[in-house]
Structure 1
Amino acid sequence: MASKGICLAVLFVFCLPLPLPVLSVNTNINGTRGASVLWQCHHKLESPFQPQESRIYWQTQDDIVLHVYNAGQEEYEYQDKTFQNRTKIFPDQLSLGNFSLVIEPLMLRDDRISLTVVYMAATQAGITICQQTLYVAAPLQKPKVEINHTTMSANCSTRGVYPEPQISWTSQNDSHIPEHTLGQREVQTTMTHEEDGTYSINSMVSITGTMTCYVYNPTSNQTVSAAAAITEHTKSRVIAIVVPIILIIIIIIICIAVGIACARARAGGPYAAPEIALAPIDDGGGSEGDEAEQRRDDGRVEEELN
């Protein structure tokens, strides 16, 4: 007979489309995966609590049963399998209106479920109280920031994050200058959804000073960070790498320029300088000597004729 009464009660609560009075406003509670969460519910009883005539159901708004208290004892027949061995109430405090429930351990699949308590007593109609939405977060791990000296970039990585986090970067060139927050266009972030439901994060930025990576969890309101900077030793290594590269580039440019000049010269043929005719130079004394010689020659001719 008692079994039949339980079944009728369950049918009444879960199957009949009769809305129950709601005596509370929906609020939010946050929890961490692997930890416990206390779903607090305190109700002011209108009449003394009578265990044998009371029925209490902790359930979701989708009618998934987390816990049942009926006729003075806890029952697990109608408890959803996903919550077996994970729920606990306070039977000795029910008479005080403490209908709180402990869920332990929390799982990621518990995230965003809407919880409610259905209370039915012999002296009053069934009511719905303590409506709350549960949000679950995975604990954040400190990210790892690594410097890539070849690409002059910083990479921030972490894993096991839930829900999807927010990533931001700051840079600082001088300790006397406030940090500068990088814009979205300066940051390249990749989020991978893993099989266990968590996210793996990889975020990369160009190095402009001391770089700090921040990972923020909106559910737990938790922020973790890690920083990295170019040290003097790193700067020396960078110079040792960059300077030879620059010299090689300059040599290549010079070789290309010389090659182009030689190719143009071969295409135009051998170059010959034009001949320039030089006029005789009159120094002013040569003409008198020539006249004297001419007179001597004329004198010899006349002697031969005589």
Structure 2
Amino acid sequence: MKSLLLFGTFWAICLFTILTAGEAQVTLVVAAPGSDITLGCFFTQRETNNPLHVRLIWLHRDTEVVHRYSNGRDQLQRQSPAYRGRTKLYPDQIAAGNASLRLTGVQESDHGKYTCVVDNEMGSFLVQVSVRVAAPYSEPQLSTQTTCKNITVRLTSSEGFPQPTLNWSWAGGSEVTHLSLDSRGRYEVRSEMALQTNDTLTVTVEMKLEVLNQSFSRTVTLHPLPECSVKRDRLWLLAPVVLLILVLALLLILLYIRRPPTGSDIDKDSFSSEGSGGGVMSESLQKNT
């Protein structure tokens, strides 16, 4: 019950200190996903002051308990689950006025403002640190793959966070971009542009990470394969010949269908007619008999 009362009193002091601090100076710390960082917090502490009278708390976004210390030891009963096992103070330096916090395994959710509130025999102190979770990308690499069907330009990069923006200068192609996270939570980028062209052209791709003011621009000149051009030229040369053959074949078919009957055809038709007449006459004679 006593510890709960002390915690409530200290929490009230923290909130009062935060609300009355005004526009305190905020230190910016850039942290890559998966890295370990130290959030600095220093306060006034005389050698004659009792270190056991130091009480401090680290908060994320003013309400989430990141780490708490009092009575000469950590008090982590009300620590946020997101920070369990990931925070550490420097207890041997607290007596000298160092309340800095070590945060391991930085995650995307760790971004935002952190507040360090310290209460000791000298009074109350407040320090604010802003954490920006970001990492620069490696130098992008361009590669090309050329076939008679199309030309594919591929950009690859890695180690960065958050997602970059990509802009291809050639709007007539087919663009596909794949983003995947590695084991540390950083992005691997693979973007492809497929182009269908018979001429030499220049393609430019830009990749930007605005949060770190990082920008890349890469340009490549593409040339169709010479053998593909030869094949296309041969096809164009053969096309008139094939068309002429088709026209001649069609004319021959039409002439055959519309040709006049020959003498042999007339004889065959007469013979068939006589045969048919003879058969009818025979039937008549039989009936008369």
Normalised by the length of structure 2, the TM-score is 0.64
- 8 Å Cα contact 1:31/1:135 also seen in 2: yes
Aligned residue number for residue 19 of structure 1: 19
Structure 1 residues 101-140: aligned runs within 5 Å: 101-110=101-110, 112-124=111-123, 126-130=124-128, 132-138=129-135, 140=137
Q: Which amino acid aligns with 2:238?
A: I
* Residue number in structure 2 paired with 1:285: none
Task: Among all aligned residue pairs of Structure 1 and Structure 2, give the percentage whose two residues are the same amino acid.
Answer: 19
Q: Does 1:242 align with 2:242?
A: no
Indicate the RMSD between aligned Cα atoms, in angstroms. Answer: 4.4
Partners of 1:256 and 1:17 in 2: how far apart? 91
Pairing 1:133-152 to 2, within 5 Å after superposition: 133-138=130-135, 140=137, 143=140, 145-150=142-147, 151-152=150-151
Q: Using the TM superposition, give the Cα deviation of residue 57 of structure 1 relative to its aligned residue in structure 2, in angstroms.
A: 0.8
Asked if the contact 1:186–1:205 (Cα under 8 Å) also holds between the matched residues in 2, the reply is no
- 1:232-269: CA deviation from partner (whole Å, max 9, x where unpaired): xxx7x9112231123213422564477679979x99xx
1:34 is matched with: 34
In terms of Rg, which structure is larger?
A: 1
Rounded to whole Å, the distance in 1 between the matches of 2:173 and 2:119 is: 56
- What is the deviation of 1:21? 1.9
Corresponding letter in the other structure for 2:226 = I
Distance 1:243 1:96, change over 3 A: same
User: Is 2:143 the counterpart of 1:154?
Assistant: no
Partners of 1:246 and 1:13 in 2: CA distance: 85
Match of 1:51 in 2: 51
Give the conservation status (yes or no) of the 8 Å contact 1:88–1:102.
yes
Q: Which amino acid aligns with 1:128?
A: L
Distance 2:42 2:244 in 1: 86
**Secondary structure of the residue that 2:43 maps to in structure 1?**
coil
Q: Which ranges in structure 2 are unaligned for 5 or more consecutive residues?
A: 255-289
Are the equivalent residues in 2 in contact too, given 1:137–1:220 (CA < 8 A)? yes
Give, in angstroms, the shift of residue 134 of structure 1.
Answer: 0.9
In 2, Cα distance between equivalents of 1:106 and 1:97: 25
Counterpart of 1:120 in 2: which secondary structure?
strand
- The answer (yes or no) to whether the contact 1:149–1:238 under 8 Å persists in 2 is yes
Which deviations, in whole Å up to 9, do the C-alpha atoms of 1:113-157 show, x marking residues without a partner? 211111223553x44322x22112356456553322121331113
How far 1:201 sits from its partner (Å)? 3.6
- Please give the per-residue CA displacement for 1:270-301, whole angstroms capped at 9, x wherever unaligned: xxxxxxxxxxxxxxxxxxxxxxxxxxxxxxxx
Alpha-carbon offset, residue 66 of structure 1:
1.4
CA contact (8 A) 2:134 2:211 kept: yes
Alpha-carbon contact 2:33-2:161 (below 8 Å) kept = no
SS of the equivalent of 1:96 reads coil
* Structure-1-length-normalised TM-score: 0.61
Cα separation, 1, equivalents of 2:13 and 2:74: 17
Please give the alpha-carbon distance, in whole angstroms, between the structure 1 residues aligned to 2:23 and 2:122: 17
Letter in 2 for 1:165: P
1:220 Cα deviation from its structure 2 partner? 5.5
2:69 aligned partner, one-letter code: Y
Unmatched 5+ stretches in structure 1: 169-181, 268-306
1:187-218 CA-partner distances (Å, limit 9, x unpaired): 87554565887654414276968978675544
Q: How far apart are the structure 2 equivalents of 1:101 and 1:228?
A: 47
